[in-house]
Structures are given as structure tokens and as C-alpha cells.
Amino acid sequence: MVLPLFKLGTLALRTLSKPIANRLKKQAGFHPKFRGFIISIAQGNHRFTTTLQRRIYNRAENVEIRPLNEEKAVQVASDLIGEMFIFLVAGALVIFEVQRNAKSEAKKEEKRKQELESLKQRDEALSKEVEELKLKIIELDKLAKGRGITGLFNFGFQQGTEKSANAA
């Protein structure tokens, strides 16, 4: 019961993270200091991806890379922020799920260890009981050999008469 509700909760959180990411995208360009910061991030990302693409496709690498205009940079950076937010939420959910599964497995392993220990203790107790029974059988065998075959069949009767003779 808990597992389906948990899965439903993670799905809802992922679904809710998308509108939050969109809101972050919209709000990203309004604050002047933050706007300058995200523009510099967008320009750096633009230079990195353009240089990487030029190297992959063997194009001229020493040509100057034109910077993005301010609005395009804000749009690219806000998209990047939104995607990073969604990725971080999904990553956090995956990490949480892995930790939850690890705890569950640890509990199962502890239960298995306890069961194994219980079985070992039971095995030791049964082994001890078997040894005691073997000793009793040896004693009975000695008594039977000492009295002969008839002593074995009259064992209970003779023991009862010995007790009554000792009492008198």
C-alpha cells in the first residue's frame, strides 16, 4: 500500500516541478543583478557549445564567437535554469528512492540474520539433546547387558521392586 502511494507522490512532485521551473524561467530575467549573472552564464555556455561543435565538425576554431544578444541570452539561461531545476528534482527523487530501498534491504538482511541465528541455536539445542539421548541409550545398553535379555524386558518391574525394597 505504501509503495504505490510513494510512487504516486514522486510522480506528482515531478509534475509540480515543471510549472515551478517555468515560473523560475519567467522570474529569472527581472532582477537586475541576477539578470547580469544569468546573461554571463548563457554567454559562457554559448561559447563552450560553439567551440565544442566547431571541434567536432572540424570547422575553423580560431574564428571569433559572436555573443548572444541580451534577450536571447536571458531566454537561453532561463531555459537552462528550468531544465536544471527539473533535473535536480528528478535526481533528488532517485537518490531518495535508492536510500529507501537500501534501508529496506538492510532490514530484510537483519531479519534473515536473526532467523539464521535462531536456526543455529535450535540446531545446537537439538544436537545437545541427541547427545544426551545417546548417553541414555548407552546406559540402558549397559544395564541390559548386565542383566541379560530378560533384564531388558523386566526393567520397569525390577526398578519398581527396588524402590519398594529401599523404602522398607
The grid coordinates of residue 92 equal 533528488
Q: What is the DSSP letter of 151?
A: H
Please give the model's pTM, rounded to 2 decimal places.
0.54
CA dihedral 122, 127, 131, 132 (to 10 degrees): 0
d(CA 101, CA 52): 39
pLDDT of 140? 87
- Name which of 89, 77, 4, 66 is nearest 36 in CA terms: 77
Q: Report CA-CA distances (Å) from 145 to 2, 3, 50, 156, 157.
A: 69, 69, 102, 15, 17
**34 CB-contact burial (10 Å; exposed 0-12 / middle 13-18 / buried 19+):** middle
| Tens-level pLDDT at each residue, the chain (168 residues) | 456 666 777 777 777 777 877 777 777 767 778 888 888 988 998 999 998 888 888 877 777 888 889 888 888 888 888 888 888 888 888 888 889 889 999 999 999 999 999 999 999 999 999 999 999 999 888 887 777 665 556 555 444 444 444 554
d(CA 21, CA 28): 10
- Name which of 13, 2, 160 is nearest 90 in CA terms: 13
